[in-house]
Structure 1
Amino acid sequence: MVSANCDVLLPQVTYVRNTSSEQEEVVEALREEIRMMSHLSHPNIIRMLGATCEKSNYNLFIEWMAGGSVAHLLSKYGAFKESVVVNYTEQLLRGLSYLHENQIIHRDVKGANLLIDSTGQRLRIADFGAAARLASKGTGAGEFQGQLLGTIAFMAPEVLRGQQYGRSCDVWSVGCAIIEMACAKPPWNAEKHSNHLALIFKIASATTAPSIPSHLSPGLRDVALRCLELQPQDRPPSRELLKHPVFRTTW
């Protein structure tokens, strides 16, 4: 039995994620995900309500978000209007700031892992299967190297080049998520790349950021450009990005 230290309030609508594996590395990764999630508490982070293990069968009981994922909403309704993109980006940055201040990087920020509540207003970051704990409280760019975890189109160039990376790889992914929300397509025209190696090479060797939709306001465009700085040390921390004037609106 693997149990998270949290109360399950009934009747509470939950999503049950089932994983079955006897591979030691898969089981250990899942246990680490459970340990990590059991200590997270923030309005923009999905809540794990509990977990069970029976032989090689694991069940994670996760807070239900009736609005579905950002990726699902984009495929159903098309690109979001800018006010929605700004709202969701601000909440995404707040959630990442909390994670980064607690020495955690997500490593798979994308629309499919951003869940929306029934009102369409609240966003929570989900799926911590690729997340990792950082060794220090510093904001340095490099703590991991050579671990290709995440979704290629949303991964920072330094990650794909096998270089050291840290919190700033999540900031890059925020820029990619802005592009995704603004045009209902992943960055780099990734949907047209059936060859993953070609896409990896394209991003790893890039000398410019992915194309940013021309219809974005100067403020939101500036946020995206700051996130998509090619050098990780040039990307502002998520907490710093929240000070941008584009987010000074009460939602």
Structure 2
Amino acid sequence: MEIKEDDDKAEGKKLCARNKHGDGVSWYRGALIGKGNFGCVYLANLKKPRSKFSCFPCVMAVKCAEVSISGSIQKEREILDNIGRCGYVIRCFGEEITNGENGEMVYNLLLEYGSGGTLVDVIDKLGGGGLVEADVRRYTRDLVRGIYWIHSKGYVHCDLKPDNVMMVGNCGTGEFRAKIGDLGLAKRGMRSNKKRKLDPYFRGTAMYLSPEAVADGIQECPCDIWALGCIVIEMFTGKPPWDGTEDLDANELLDRIGEGRESPKIPDEISVEAKNFLKGCLAVKPMYRLTAEMLLNHPFLEGLVDVIETEEIEEFSDVNADSSLVLLSEAEADDELNRFSCSEDDSFVTEEESVSYWCEEVTNGGQIVAFDEEGTLKIQESTHTASSRNDSEYDHALNTTVPTSTGLQYPVAFTIPTGI
């Protein structure tokens, strides 16, 4: 009897969520899996998952908020469109407005679902012991590739942390890939022909902010590399990068970081390559930090084999980008076709409060960069900004290898003087 009552309560909560924010044309809202200042994140399931007319995967995550307060989510959609598709950044499938209870309009952003939860969930499952180095290397390479892609498109993430790293399953292999999400606080990086503008407030989470971000309000590409170093330490130790600061409030922690006299402690029990990698990420002065391109060639990430994706997913287009797409009713979509089958597990997506966000100008141009199945870096000039509607560019148009002499390589001997 008690089990039936629990099931009824769970079903009641799902119905409450659906009534509060409404369902989409082709999907319905499932369980709440995350919540933050931006709004809420729910599971989204297709009403007709086997329909040949479907332009979505059968399970997604939908980030939503009332239209009047959805600026951060809409900013994230804009940035995802501008940087284009990358296998190491959470994918966007489109947006939709639904009608919630009391008639309010709700903005919904349809995103790739991380069935493995977040990197925080992976770390917490080990009870504070930290991940084995082989897993740390694999997830770190995923993150470096994602960071390199974002930086190559002219953006800085500004809020990299384990909570914003989603673990996306590869159907049929049991492996998970770390993908960067939550780009709502991202900003355009500094251009050489423009004078740097200092932000009046820093963006992101205090624990992962770099010294120059706290002290000078400067958040450029090196600040993402610093945050990466903090994440790697957390993966190794299972503890926050600034361990021993539990008794400090946010202002005291920021004062400690902004002084720039120390970096998070590098674990003693890790390999020499891992220590050197972290030293290159956590140099106090940003000019001495390695770039994402240099880190791709670091010995710590050598010898890793790429896991070939076996998802039986066709190229899902962005429902909002395809002008020829017509949304069909359920009655019109009864002609079903077996084209996708993948079981997903529920997970919890956590998100801490963020400081603020700004809308940035958007410009075209840039390069298309990717990695082939052997892990070789590919690059090709692009005359327009890649977007989620041009997915073939990522998979097929990248066929020119970057010459070793022109790419930024990890230095064989890279000495960082004490105190910088």
Aligned length: 239
For 1:151, the aligned partner's letter is T
CA contact (8 A) 1:146 1:159 kept: no
Deviates more, 1:43-52 or 1:160-169: 160-169
1:19–1:59 contact (8 Å) kept in structure 2:
yes
Aligned counterparts of 2:248 and 2:97: Cα–Cα separation in 1: 37
For the residue of structure 1 that corresponds to 2:108, the secondary structure is strand
**1:91: which partner in 2?**
142
Q: Give the number of the structure whose alpha-carbon radius of gyration is greater.
A: 2
Q: Is the 8 A contact 1:193 1:199 kept in 2?
A: no
What do residues 138-187 of structure 1 show as CA deviations (whole Å, max 9, x unaligned)?
5x9x6643331111111101111134231000000010001110111111
Matching residue within 158, 162, 186 for 2:212: 158
Q: How does 1:54-65 map onto structure 2 within 5 Å?
A: 54=98, 56-65=105-114
Q: In structure 1, what is the Cα distance between the partners aligned to 2:140 and 2:198?
A: 25
User: Which of the numbers 205, 227, 232 marks the counterpart of 2:259?
Assistant: 205
Contact persistence 1:92–1:124 (CA under 8 A): yes
Match of 1:33 in 2: 76
The Cα shift of 1:65 comes to 1.3
CA–CA separation in structure 2 for the residues paired with 1:153 and 1:190: 12
Q: Does residue 181 of structure 1 match 2:224?
A: no
Which segments of 5 or more consecutive residues in structure 1 lack a partner in the other structure?
1-6
- Alpha-carbon distance in structure 2 between the residues aligned to 1:75 and 1:161: 31
- Contact residue 245 and residue 253 of structure 2 kept, 8 A: no
Please name the residue that 2:164 is paired with: 113
Partners of 2:202 and 2:217 within 8 A in 1: no
After superposition, what is the alpha-carbon deviation per residue over 1:179-202, rounded to whole angstroms, capped at 9, x for unaligned? 110111111126614511111111
Aligned 8 A contact 2:201 2:217 in 1: no
Within 5 Å, which residues of 2 pair with 1:1-251?
A: 9-20=55-66, 22-23=68-69, 27-39=70-82, 40-54=84-98, 56-78=105-127, 79-118=130-169, 119-136=174-191, 144-189=198-243, 192-193=246-247, 195-251=249-305
Structure in which a larger fraction of residues adopt helix? 1
Question: How far apart, CA to CA, are the structure 2 residues paired with 1:173 and 1:67?
Answer: 22
Q: 1:143 to 1:217 in 2, by over 3 A?
A: farther
Q: Is the 8 A contact 1:145 1:159 kept in 2?
A: no
| Unmatched 5+ stretches in structure 2 | 1-52, 99-103, 306-420
Question: Structure 1 155/56 Cα, relative in aligned 2: closer, same or farther at 3 Å?
Answer: farther
Q: Give 1:70 deviation, angstroms.
A: 0.6
Deviation readout 1:104-126 (Å, 9 max, x if unpaired): 11111111111112334311101
| Residue range with higher mean Cα deviation, 228-237 or 51-60 | 51-60
| TM-score, normalisation: structure 2 | 0.54
- Superposed displacement of residue 37, structure 1: 1.0
Displacement over 4 Å in runs of 4+? none
Classify 1:155/1:190 alpha carbon distance in 2 versus 1 (closer, same or farther; 3 Å): farther
Amino acid at match of 1:130: L
- 3-state SS, counterpart of residue 122 of structure 1: strand
Confirm or deny: 8 A CA contact 1:153 1:190 kept in the other structure: no
Paired with 2:134 and 2:197, the residues of 1 have a C-alpha distance of: 35
Please say if residues 48 and 63 of structure 1, whose CA atoms lie closer than 8 Å, have aligned partners that are also in contact.
yes
Check the 8 A contact 1:185/1:191 in 2, yes or no: no
SS of the residue corresponding to residue 87 of structure 2 reads coil
Q: Contact (CA 8 Å) 2:234, 2:240: kept in 1 or not? A: yes
Percent identity, aligned pairs only, is 26
Distance 2:232 2:144 in 1: 11
Output one character per residue of 1:63-99: Cα deviation in whole Å (capped at 9) or x when no partner. Answer: 0111111101111224110011111111101100010
Distance 1:143 1:91, change over 3 A: farther
Q: For 2:197 and 2:151, how far apart are their aligned partners in 1?
A: 13
Secondary structure of the residue that 1:164 maps to in structure 2?
A: coil
Quickly say closer, same or farther: Cα 1:144–1:167, change in 2 above 3 A. Answer: farther
What TM-score results when the alignment is normalised by the length of structure 1? 0.87
TM-superposed deviation, 1:8? 6.6
Task: Tell me which of the two structures has the higher relative contact order, counting C-alpha pairs closer than 8 angstroms and 6 or more residues apart.
Answer: 2
The 3-state SS of whatever aligns with 2:107 is: strand
Relative to structure 1, the CA distance from residue 190 to residue 124 in structure 2 (aligned partners, 3 Å threshold; closer, same or farther) is farther
Change (3 A) 1:191 1:126: farther
